[in-house]
Every structure is written in C-alpha cells, then in structure tokens.
Amino acid sequence: MRYAFASPGWMAFMHGLVTERVRRFQTEAPDIAWSICEVFTDPPAELSPHGSPLAWHCIVKDGAVTFAATETDDVEFKVFIDYEAVVPLGRYDTRGDPARQAELGAMAQALRDAGKMRVIGDRSRRDPRVGDFHDLIARVTA
C-alpha cells in the first residue's frame, strides 16, 4: 500500500513504524531515546484545506512513544521544509546504496541552499542503533 506524503495514512504508517522499532528496542536497547519534528509548509489543499502547515513529531523515551500529527519545539531535531520540495526526497529510495545515500544528502543540501529547508539540531547525534527509516518510508510514499 502507498500513501500520499504526509497524509493521514502516511502518518499512521510512520507511527506504526516507530512503535514497532521501539518495541524491538525494549529488549535490545531499552535506553534509546530520540525526538524529531517535521513541518511541511504550503501543503496541497487536499491535505490542508486552510493552507496550514502539516507536521508530525515523535518522542521516544523510556520505551514509550509519543507520536502526533502536530508541531512541537520540544525535540532534538526539527525540520521545516516546503511540501512540494520534500516530496521527491520522501519518495527517493536509496536502496541502501552509499552513492544513492550521498545523492539524497546532496538533494537535501540543495534545498537548504535554496532556502526551502531549515534544520534545527543535529540528526547525526542520534543513537546509531535507531537505524534509518528513510527507505522504508520511501517505499510506501506515493
């Protein structure tokens, strides 16, 4: 099944993905904690009839997941990005290929350079045991 980027179905998939990953950590690494918020500006009318930005945030701490389709500042890593600009990134499956991962990084950097993306925090400080969610998300993003 595929979902429109940042749609309610996409958000439900994200919530499930994070919850499943945290469930696995309960025995492997119960001390893992991370938090993220993404805000998508200028979304299409079918997803935001009033033109309000779309957002989601996730806070993982002490084995619990707080996930909501809202914006928050109480996170370690936060991204503000133009909706139309982020969709190609959201659909880009790196297939675990380092060259494609570098290309995805370059695409993101180009958006920052163009003023279409702003990042607060340092995602590289996230515990590496969390792993990467990007390709799984890309495979379900329409």
Q: What is the mean pLDDT of residues 92-120?
A: 97
Inform me whether the pLDDT recorded for 125 exceeds 80: no
Reported as a single tens digit per residue, the pLDDT across 55-104 is 999 999 988 899 999 999 999 999 999 999 999 999 999 999 999 999 99
Reported as a single tens digit per residue, the pLDDT across 17-60 is 999 988 888 887 888 899 999 999 999 999 999 999 999 999 99
User: Taking the alpha carbons of 69, 73, 77, 80 in that order, is the dihedral positive or negative?
Assistant: positive
Angle at 140 between CA 40 and CA 55, to 5 degrees: 20
Q: What is the mean pLDDT of residues 5-13?
A: 97
Structure confidence at residue 10 (pLDDT): 97
CA dihedral 22, 94, 125, 55 (to 10 degrees): -70
